[in-house]
Amino acid sequence: MSITLQQKKTLPSKQNIDAISNWLMIISYPGGKTIKQKAAFPYEDILLNRRSQLDLKKADSSPVVLDLPNQHSSHVAFAFIDATMNSFDLLTLARKMVDAHSATNPKQLGLMVSGFTDADSERIAEALISAALAASAPMPNFKSEKQTPSRLAKLSLFGVRASHGFKQSFAVAEGNALTRSLSILPSNKLTPTEYLKTVKEIARENKWKLEFYDETILKKKKAGAFLAVAQGSPKADAGIVRLRYTPKVAAKGKKVFLVGKGICYDTGGTNLKPANYMYGMHEDMQGSAVALGTLLALSKLNFNRPVECWLALAMNHIGPKAYKPNDVITASDGTTIEIIHTDAEGRMVLSDTLALASKEKPSLILDYATLTGGCMYAIGTSYSGVFTNKKEWHAGLIKAGEDSGERVWPFPLDEDFDEMIKSKIADVKQCSQESGVDHILASRFLQRFVKHDTPWVHMDLSSSHKKGGLAHIPTDTIGFGVRYSINLLLNDYLK
C-alpha cells in the first residue's frame, strides 16, 4: 500500500497536534482521575470535559467526536477504554473512529495511544492502523459520476513505536483489499476467464508459479464432480488454478495448502434460486478470493514455508447441459455421487479440488467457501463456522478468532451424520433433502475427499457479507478469513 507510517514513542506535543487536522485518540479509562490532575498531553482537559458532559461513568466503546480550539480546528475522534477490551470490539471501535473522518477525506491521520502498557498500546495501535488501511482501500465502482478516492497517504502514530513497523497489518490489509475488490466485481466483469487473467497478473508480480487445470485436463483427471457443475456453462472456461509460493529460505515442515470455492455466479442451476436468494451471488467466489488474499499477505510477509493456493473457478449456470437432480457422477478419486440439489454446487467443485490437492500430501489444508445457508442460520453473519478433522484443534481455532477479531465457531463432524447422506444407488448423496444441518453435512461430504489423513480446516464463510461492515472492515463485503488465517499460520494455535 502507498500509505506511510511514522511512529513516535512519545505522546504528541501541542505543535504536533496543531499541525495535523484529523486525529484518532484512544486513552486508558481514567477511573478516578479528575481533570484537576496534570494533563498527559495537550488538550486532554478538553477531552475529559467533553467526556464528563456525556456522563460516561464507565469505560465506553463509543467514540466521541469534537473539534479542538486550535488554528486548524483539528477534528478528533477519541475514546476512553479499558485495556481488557476484546479484539473484535476494539476493531469495531477503530472502524467507527475512522468513519468519523470520512467526510473530510484527510491526507494524513494522527493516531495517539495513551496510558497503556507497551503490549496493550501496540495492540490498540494495530487496530487503528488496520481500520484506517481498510477504509482507504479502493473498491470497484461503476457509477458514471466521478468518485473521490481516498487521499490518505500518511499515518502519524504517537505513544507507540514498534520495531516490526506493523508490517503484518499492512500485508493483511493488502490481502483483504484484494479479496474484497474481487468479490465486489459483478459476474459479467469477473467471469472465470477474467478471473484467470487477473490471477496471472498477480502471480507474475509476486513470482508465483501458476498452473491451470482446464476442462480438458480435468477430464483426463476424471474430475467428474467439478465438471458436472461446469457443464452447464455456455463457455468452457472453468478450471482449477494452482499457485505455488516458494520462500527464499524455507523452514522445516511441509507445504500449507489454501483451497477456495470460486463460483463466479450461482444461479442455483436446474434447482433455480428464487430472486431474493440469487441477488448477490456474484460473491459466491469469495472463498477463492480469501485464499488468494491470504497467499498475497503471506508473500508480503516472506512466510517461511511453501504455500500452494488452489482456486476452483466456475459458474453454476442453468441450461440444457446443466447437471440435474438424480444424476450420478464420479469424482476424481472414484467416489460416486448422487445429485440431490444442483444449488449444492460448491461442495461439488471443492470435492475434486480437495482430492487433487491432498494427493500432494501437504501438512495442512485450509479451505474457504461461501458454502451453506445452514451455517448462516446456525451462527449468523458476525461469525464464520469452522470444521476440522482434528477435534483437538477446536480451542485453538476459537482462540485464533478471538485474538484476530475475526471470530469463528467450530461445529461437530461426527460420523453418524453420514446417515443423512447415504445413497441407495451411489457411494454418497451430494446433500440431504432434510433441512437443519446442511453446514455439517456439507463438511462431512468434503471430508471424505481429504486424503492421506491430511490435517484439514474448512471455513464456511457465513460472515462474508454483512450490511454496514464487520469489525474494522467498513464495506458490506468483508473479506473475512485473511486476517484470521495469517494470525493462525504465524502463531502456534494448532496444537
Q: Which CATH class is domain 4-136?
A: alpha beta
- 8 Å CB contact between 480 and 407: no
On the question of pLDDT at 491 being above 50, the answer is yes
Q: Are 12 and 42 in contact (CB under 8 A)?
A: yes
Instruction: Report the amino acid identity of residue 366.
Output: L
C-alpha cell at 277: 436468494
Q: Where are the domains of the chain?
A: 4-136, 172-490
| Percentage of the chain exceeding pLDDT 90 | 89
Task: Give mean pLDDT, residues 463-473.
Answer: 98
* Structure confidence at residue 436 as a pLDDT band (50, 70, 90): confident
Q: What is the dihedral of CA 224, 227, 231, 232, to 10 degrees?
A: 110
CATH number of 172-490: 3.40.630.10
Phi-psi group of 191: left, alpha or beta (phi > 0 → left; psi -120 to 50 → alpha; rest → beta) = beta
Give one DSSP letter per residue of 344-372, joined into a string: --HHHHHHHHHHHHHTT--SEEEEEE---
Of these residues, 242, 255, 347, 466, which one is catalytic? 347
List 273, 359, 390, 399, catalytic entry? 273
Among this protein's residues, is 50 annotated catalytic?
Answer: no
- For helices 346-358 and 438-447, give the axis angle rounded to 10 degrees: 30
Average pLDDT of 454-472?
98
Check pLDDT > 50 for residue 180: yes
Tens digits of residue pLDDT in 27-40: 987 654 444 445 68
Residue 61 in this model has a pLDDT that exceeds 70: no
pLDDT at 59 over 80: no
pLDDT mean across residues, the chain:
94
Q: Tell me the pLDDT tens digit for each residue of 273-288.
A: 999 999 999 999 999 9
Nearest alpha-carbon partner for 172 in 260, 301, 289, 302: 301
- Answer whether residue 58 shows pLDDT above 60: no
- Judged against a pLDDT cut of 90, whether residue 250 lies above it is answered with no
Residue 440 to residue 417: CA distance in whole angstroms: 8
**Contact in structure between 368 and 291 (CB atoms under 8 Å):** yes
Burial class of residue 352 in the structure, from the number of CB atoms within 10 Å of its CB (0-12 exposed, 13-18 middle, 19+ buried): buried
Q: pLDDT tens digit string along 125-158?
A: 999 999 999 999 999 999 999 889 999 999 999 9
Is the confidence at residue 352, as pLDDT, over 80?
yes
For residue 237, pLDDT beyond 50: yes
Q: Is residue 143 annotated as part of the catalytic site, yes or no? A: no
pTM of the model: 0.96
Element (H, E) at 294: helix 286-300
Angle at Cα 219 formed by Cα 218 and Cα 222, nearest 5°?
90
The proportion of the chain whose per-residue pLDDT surpasses 70, expressed as a percent, equals: 96
What b/e sequence results for 318-341 when a residue is b if at least 16 CB atoms lie within 10 Å of its CB, and e otherwise? Answer: eeeebbeeebebbbbbebebbbbb
The predicted pLDDT at position 1 comes to 62
Write down the pLDDT at residue 33: 44
Condensed to tens digits (0 to 9), the pLDDT of residues 286-313 reads 999 999 999 999 999 999 999 999 999 9
